[in-house]
Amino acid sequence: MANIKQIAADMGVSVATVSNALTGKGRVSAQMVARIKLRASELGYRPSLAGRALRSGQSGILGLVMPDLTNPLFPRIAQHLSLAADNRQVGILIADSRGNPDEQTQAINRLLDRGVDGLLIVPQKGTTPGLQSVPTVIINTASDPDNTVSADHAGGGKLIAEHITALGHRHIVILGVDRVSEVQRDRVEGMRMGLVTADTVLELWGEDGMDQLAGAIKNGATAILTTSDLMALRVQSHLIRCGIGVPNDVSLTGFDDLPFGLAMHPMLTTVAQDVEQIAKVAIEHLMRAIQGEQSQEKNDKIAMRLVTRDSTSLKRNTTSLETIK
Amino acid sequence: MANIKQIAADMGVSVATVSNALTGKGRVSAQMVARIKLRASELGYRPSLAGRALRSGQSGILGLVMPDLTNPLFPRIAQHLSLAADNRQVGILIADSRGNPDEQTQAINRLLDRGVDGLLIVPQKGTTPGLQSVPTVIINTASDPDNTVSADHAGGGKLIAEHITALGHRHIVILGVDRVSEVQRDRVEGMRMGLVTADTVLELWGEDGMDQLAGAIKNGATAILTTSDLMALRVQSHLIRCGIGVPNDVSLTGFDDLPFGLAMHPMLTTVAQDVEQIAKVAIEHLMRAIQGEQSQEKNDKIAMRLVTRDSTSLKRNTTSLETIK
DNA sequence: CCACGTTGATTAAACGTTTTACCAACAGGA
DNA sequence: TCCTGTTGGTAAAACGTTTAATCAACGTGG
C-alpha cells in the first residue's frame, strides 16, 4: 500500500514531481522520471483509483445493464465487452434488470449512484430506456432512435434466406418465436427480402406455428427458417416424431449460433452474431462520447455471418415424403 | 451534483452535522436529522462514492473473475451474484480470464488495481488461484482447500443415479466429458455411490466413449448417465441414428439443466444447480470475511435438485431392441 | 548588466467524505 | 456555587491524487 507521498519522501522530492513523473505530464527531467518509475515499481506502487476519481470526477468505470437470462448471448457479449474495456483501462460494473422494466431503471440508478462514467444497456424486450445523465450506448436492439450498436438482424435473415434459395428451395416456411420482439421481427423482415425469388413463403409464429409445420410440408414446403436456434432444436425433435428427416426431407436453419447447435445431429446451419465486433464498437462509441467527441454515425449495424453446417442441403427433386404420398 | 457542503451551507449548519445526520452516526437532534434528510432528497443528493471510498479505504466493490464462456452457468451465476450484491449495497466488477491461467492472474490484478474489497473467483479448469491480498471466495470448484462454495456435484450424481436405479435399471453406462475436470470426476464419483445396487457399471469418457455406446446397449445396458446436458444432446442424436429410442429402449440423463433441455424431445431428465443459493452463500461468506469476521465453515456444498422429465422411464422387461435381436 | 525565456521542481489548493477532538450550553447533585 | 455529565453541534484533519500557480536557477541575446 505504497502511496505517492511515501515515494516522494523516500526520494527527497515533492509529491507533485512524483505524480508528474508517473503520469508523464508537467515538466520533469528524463533521469528523474526514470528513477521515480524504478522506485515506484520496486515498492509495488498502485495508484489509488479512489483518489484519482475524486480529483478528476471520473470513475473510470462503465455500467453494463443486462436483461434476464433468456438472452443466451449475455455471457459472450459481457466477455467481449470486458475485454474491450480492459484494453482501455476502464472497468465494467454489472447490473441485472431481471426481466422487468422497473428493475431496469432501478439497475440504471444503482449504477449512476456508483458514479459510472457511461452506460451500456441491453434493453428489455420492447423497452427503450430514456435519455440518461451520462453517455449511453444501447446494444442489440434493432430500430432504436439514439446511439445504438446492434447485430444486423435483418441482414442475417437475408443471408440465410439467400443461402436457402441458392440451394434451390422455392417453398419456404418462416417460423418466428415471438411477435413482440423487435429483433425477431427484423430477422423475419430480412428473410423475406432474401426470399424474393421464392414461390411461396408461409410466415408462422410461436407454438401454433409449430403445429402447422407438418401440414405445410405436406403441401410442398422444403425449408424451414427459424429465428432462433432453440426453436430449431424443437422443430427438429418435432419433425423426427413426424417421420420427417432433416435435411433429407426438409432443410432447417436456426439463428444465433448457440453452442448446442454443434451437438445436434445433423449439426445446425445458422447465422452468428459478431459479438466481438459489437462489443468493440460499443465501447468505442461510448468512450468517444465520454471524452466529449460527437460520433458522426449514431447507429451502427454489425454484419452477421452465415454458418453453413449439415441441416441444410440441396433441394431434391423427389423427396422420400413424395414417394410416401 | 449536490454535495454535502452545499447542503450544509444551504441549511446554515456544518458539513459534519450533515454527514452525521445522513449516516446516522454522531449526535444530531432528531428534528435536525429530519430537516437535513428532507433537504437532501429535495436536492437529489447522491453521496460521492469516490469521496467515501477515499476516506474509508473501502470501495464497496467486489471483483468477479469468470473463466471462458464454455461454462454455460456463467450468466445465471453472474445474475444471482449481482442480485445478492445489490441487496448489500455493493457493486460487482467483472473480469474475464479467457480460458488461460495467466490471463486469470492478470484479471485478478486488474481488479485489485481497481481497489475491490474482495474477490469472487470461478477458477479455470484445474487451476487453484493462490491466496490474494483481499478476502476471496472460490466458486464451484469441488475439492479446493480454502474458502469455497460450490454445488454438491457428487450429491447430484448420486441423486440421478438413485433415480435411475429406482426405475429398475441395473446395467448402467456412465459417460463423462473430460477426465481433467475435477467437477466431472466428482459427478462420476457421486453416480457410482448411487449405483451400489446396480449389476454392471461401465464408465466411459469423451468421444471414444460415445462410439462404444451402441455396443454397450447391445450388451444389455438400459440407462446412460452423462455428466453434461450438452453431452446428453449429442448422445440422443447419436442414438437416433442407431435406431435406438429414448426413453423406450434406453434412459438418458444430463447434468446442469441448461435451457435447451426443455426444447429436446423427449425433454431431458437432468439435475440442476441451485445457482441462486450458491450466489447468496458466496456473497455472504465474502462480506463476512471483509468485515473481518471469521466464518466457521470454510467449505460449503449446495445441494443439487433432480429434474425429472421424459428421457428416463421404467426399465421394460422386453425392449424393442431385444425383439429385434 | 539587464530583461527574458526555458527548464526543473515545489507549494498549495481542490475533489467529497468521515471522524476525532473539541466546545458551548445546559441541567442536576452536592 | 462548583463540579460533572450530557446533549447538540463545530472545526479541522485525513484519505491520495492532480494541477494551476509560483519560483529558483540558468543561460542568452541585446
Please answer yes or no on whether A265 and B238 come within 8 Å at the CB atom: yes
Whole-angstrom distance, CA of residue B254 vs CA of residue A120: 35
Domain residue spans of chain A: 4-47, 60-150+274-301, 153-272+307-323
DSSP H or E segment with residue B187: helix B182-194
B250 vs B68: which has the higher pLDDT:
B250
Distance from residue B324 (CA) to nucleotide C25 (C1'), in Å? 102
Average pLDDT of every residue of chain B: 91
pLDDT-derived band at B325, boundaries 50, 70, 90: very low
* Cell, residue B204: 466411459
Question: pLDDT tens, B202-235?
Answer: 999 999 999 999 999 999 999 999 999 999 999 9
pLDDT value at residue B144: 58
Cβ-based neighbours of B241, under 8 Å, separated by 6 or more: A265
Question: pLDDT tens, A291-315?
Answer: 887 666 677 899 999 999 999 999 9
pLDDT value at residue B324: 47
**pLDDT at residue B9 above 50?**
yes
Whole-angstrom distance, CA of residue B187 vs CA of residue A245: 35
Cβ-based neighbours of B313, under 8 Å, separated by 6 or more: B167, B247, B248, B251
What's the mean pLDDT in B180-198?
94
pLDDT value at residue A1: 77
| Amino acid of residue B50 | A
Whole-angstrom distance, CA of residue A19 vs CA of residue A23: 6
pLDDT value at residue A128: 77
Q: Backbone dihedral region of A72: left (phi > 0), alpha (psi from -120 to 50 degrees) or beta?
A: alpha
Give yes or no for CB of A16 within 7 Å of strand D: yes
Q: Give contacts of B120 with chain A, Cβ < 8 Å.
A: none
Cβ-based neighbours of A44, under 8 Å, separated by 6 or more: A2
Query: A174-188, B132-146, B280-294: which has the minimum mean pLDDT?
Result: B132-146
What's the mean pLDDT in B175-192?
93
- Whether a cis peptide bond, with omega within 30° of 0, leads into A247 is yes
Q: Give contacts of A243 with chain B, Cβ < 8 Å.
A: none
Nearest CA distance, A264 vs chain B (angstrom): 6
Q: Give contacts of A264 with chain B, Cβ < 8 Å.
A: 233, 237
Return the closest nucleotide (C1') to the Cα of A20.
D18
**pLDDT at residue B167 above 80?**
yes
Tell me the backbone φ, ψ of residue A310, rounded to 5 degrees.
-100, -5
Q: In terms of C-beta density within 10 A (0-12 exposed, 13-18 middle, 19 or more buried), how is residue A318 classed? A: exposed
Tell me the backbone φ, ψ of residue A177, rounded to 5 degrees.
-85, -50
Enumerate long-range contacts of B36-43, CB under 8 Å, 24 or more apart. B36/B7, B36/B11, B39/B7, B39/B10, B39/B11, B40/B2, B40/B7, B43/B2, B43/B6, B43/B7, B43/B10
Distance from residue B28 (CA) to nucleotide D9 (C1'), in Å? 7
pLDDT-derived band at B7, boundaries 50, 70, 90: very high
Which one of B76, B237, B246, B248 makes the best mutation probe of the A interface by having the most chain A beta carbons within 10 Å?
B237
Whole-angstrom distance, CA of residue B158 vs CA of residue B160: 6
Nearest to B270 by CA among B150, B156, B154: B156
Query: A119-128, B93-102, B304-313: which has the minimum mean pLDDT?
Result: A119-128
* Cell, residue B51: 469521496
Q: Backbone dihedral region of B60: left (phi > 0), alpha (psi from -120 to 50 degrees) or beta?
A: left
What's the mean pLDDT in A130-146?
79
What's the mean pLDDT in B179-196?
94
**pLDDT at residue A159 above 90?**
yes
**DSSP strand pairing (A200-205 vs B171-176):** unpaired
Question: pLDDT tens, A251-283?
Answer: 999 999 998 999 999 999 999 999 999 999 999
- A&B contacts, CB < 8 Å: 134
pLDDT value at residue A325: 43
Whole-angstrom distance, CA of residue A33 vs CA of residue B30: 55
CATH for A4-47 is: 1.10.260
Is the four-CA dihedral B113, B114, B118, B119 of positive or negative sign?
A: negative
Q: Work out the percent of chain B whose per-residue pLDDT is above 70.
A: 93
What's the mean pLDDT in B162-174?
98
- Do residues B75 and A97 lie in contact, with contact meaning Cβ atoms separated by under 8 Å? no
**pLDDT at residue B116 above 90?**
yes
What is the architecture of the domain spanning B60-150+274-301?
A: 3-Layer(aba) Sandwich (3.40)
Same fold, A4-47 and A60-150+274-301: no
| Beta bridge partner(s), residue A171 | A200
| Amino acid of residue B243 | G
**pLDDT at residue B8 above 60?**
yes
Residue of A nearest to B262 (CA): A234
Nearest to A304 by CA among A178, A194, A179: A194
Q: Is A266 helix (H, G, I), strand (E, B) or coil?
A: coil
**DSSP strand pairing (B61-66 vs B118-121):** parallel
Whole-angstrom distance, CA of residue B119 vs CA of residue B136: 5
Q: Is A80 helix (H, G, I), strand (E, B) or coil?
A: helix
pLDDT value at residue B145: 60
Task: Tell me B264's DSSP state.
Answer: S
- Do residues B246 and B252 lie in contact, with contact meaning Cβ atoms separated by under 8 Å? yes
What's the mean pLDDT in B262-270?
95
Q: Work out the percent of chain A whose per-residue pLDDT is above 70.
A: 93
Give yes or no for CB of B109 within 7 Å of strand C: no
**DSSP strand pairing (B91-96 vs B118-121):** unpaired
What's the mean pLDDT in A234-246?
93
Lookup result for grid cell 460450490: B150
Cα separation of the two ends of chain A? 80
Task: Tell me B143's DSSP state.
Answer: T
pLDDT value at residue A142: 59
pTM for this entry: 0.87
Nearest CA distance, A197 vs chain B (angstrom): 32
Which one of B22, B55, B79, B235 makes the best mutation probe of the A interface by having the most chain A beta carbons within 10 Å?
B79
What's the mean pLDDT in A69-94?
86
Distance from residue A29 (CA) to nucleotide C6 (C1'), in Å? 13
Residues 40-59 of chain A within 7 A of strand D, judged by CB, are 45-48, 50-52, 54-56
pLDDT value at residue A294: 67
Q: Print the SS3 string covering B56-119.
A: HCCCCEEEEEECCCCCCCHHHHHHHHHHHHHHCCCEEEEEECCCCHHHHHHHHHHHHHCCCCEE
Tell me the backbone φ, ψ of residue B201, rounded to 5 degrees.
-125, 120
Beta strands in A216-257 (DSSP E): 223-226, 251-253
Please answer yes or no on whether B46 and A82 come within 8 Å at the CB atom: no
Q: Work out the percent of chain B whose per-residue pLDDT is above 90.
A: 78
Average pLDDT of every residue of chain A: 91
Q: Kindly report the CATH class assigned to B153-272+307-323.
A: alpha beta
Question: pLDDT tens, A86-98?
Answer: 999 999 999 998 8
Q: Give contacts of A48 with chain B, Cβ < 8 Å.
A: 54, 115
- Do residues A299 and B271 lie in contact, with contact meaning Cβ atoms separated by under 8 Å? no
Q: Is B7 helix (H, G, I), strand (E, B) or coil?
A: helix
What DSSP string runs through B275-325? HHHHHHHHHHHHHHHHTTPPPS-SEEEEPPEEE--SS--PPPSS-HHHHH-
Please answer yes or no on whether B72 and A259 come within 8 Å at the CB atom: yes
**In degrees to the nearest 10, what's the CA dihedral of B281, B284, B287, B291?**
-130
Which protein residue lies nearest to nucleotide D10, measured between its Cα and the C1' atom?
Answer: B14
User: If you average pLDDT over each of A201-205, B93-97, B124-128, which comes out highest?
Assistant: A201-205
